[in-house]
Structure 1
C-alpha cells in the first residue's frame, strides 16, 4: 500500500465517522476482517461485526471531527495516529489514538487494531503531534 492509498482509506473512514455511517464504515473492510478495538477482548468480525460495532458506538455521538497524523507504511501494513473531538450524549470529549492496519490487495482492511485514550472536553493536539 502506498501512503496515498492509505490516506484515501483514512479519508473515507473520516467521512464515515463524521457522518456516523455504519454502512460506509463496514464497506472499508473485507468480508472476513477483524476489528480489534480493545486488546484484551475478542475482535469484531467481518463487515457485519464492524457494522454492528459502528452502529452502537456512534449512536450517541455528534459533531465528530477526525484528523490523522503522518501515515507510516510497510508493505500491506500501515500505522497512523488519529485525533478526534466530538460530543457524546451532548458532552464534549477528545479521543487520541493509533491504528495498525493490514490491507488486502484491493485496498480494503483485513485487520485493524486500535489503541485510544479518552479525555473529557475539547482538547487540541500538542505541538508536533502527527509528525
Structure 2
C-alpha cells in the first residue's frame, strides 16, 4: 500500500473509530512495534499494548459529539500529516480538541510512528480560520 492510501485510510478510520471509541479498529492501523507520542513531554507509548492502554484511558468518560479529520498531506519523505477537531463532553462539560497527527507508515500501510500535537478549549468551538489545510 502506498503512503497516500495508507494516510487516507488512517484518517478515515480514526475519524469513525474515535467517535465510537473503537480501540480495536484503531489498533488495526498500527504496526505491532509502533511508537506513539501523545504529547511532547510525555513518555511514548511503545507497541500496540501500550497504545491500547492509552486509548482506553483517553476515551474513559468522554462522550464524543463530532470528530473531523482533514485530508492528509504527504511529503516527499513519506511523512503524512493531518489536522483534526473533536467536540466532546466529559465530567467537566463540553470541550474541543484541535490538533494534528504526524505519521510514518511501513510497506504494509501500518503506522510505525505517530506524534500528536493538540490544544483544547473548555467549550465547543471551531478553530479560528480554516479548520483544515489542503
TM-score, with structure 2 as normaliser: 0.88
Q: For the residues of structure 2 that align with 1:118 and 1:90, how far apart are their CA atoms?
A: 13
RMSD of equivalent CA atoms: 1.6
1:128 alignment partner in structure 2: 130
1:13 alignment partner in structure 2: 14
Aligned-pair CA distance for 1:4: 4.1
CA contact (8 A) 2:64 2:86 kept: no
Q: For the residues of structure 1 that align with 2:65 and 2:52, how far apart are their CA atoms?
A: 18
Give the number of equivalent residue pairs.
131
Q: Does 1:23 align with 2:16?
A: no
TM-score, with structure 1 as normaliser: 0.90
Structure 2 portions without partners, runs of 5+: none
Aligned runs of 1:1-131 on 2, under 5 Å?
Answer: 1-74=2-75, 75-89=77-91, 91-131=93-133
Q: What is the DSSP-based 3-state SS (H/G/I as helix, E as strand, rest coil) of the residue aligned with 2:114?
A: strand
Note the alpha carbon deviations across 1:54-84, whole angstroms, 9 max, x for none. Answer: 1111011112421122321024310111111
Name segments (4+ residues, structure 1) moved above 4 Å. none
Structure 1 portions without partners, runs of 5+: none
Note the alpha carbon deviations across 1:33-61, whole angstroms, 9 max, x for none. Answer: 01101112210111111110011110111
Q: For the residues of structure 2 that align with 1:126 and 1:69, how far apart are their CA atoms?
A: 15
Q: For the residues of structure 2 that align with 1:24 and 1:71, how far apart are their CA atoms?
A: 19
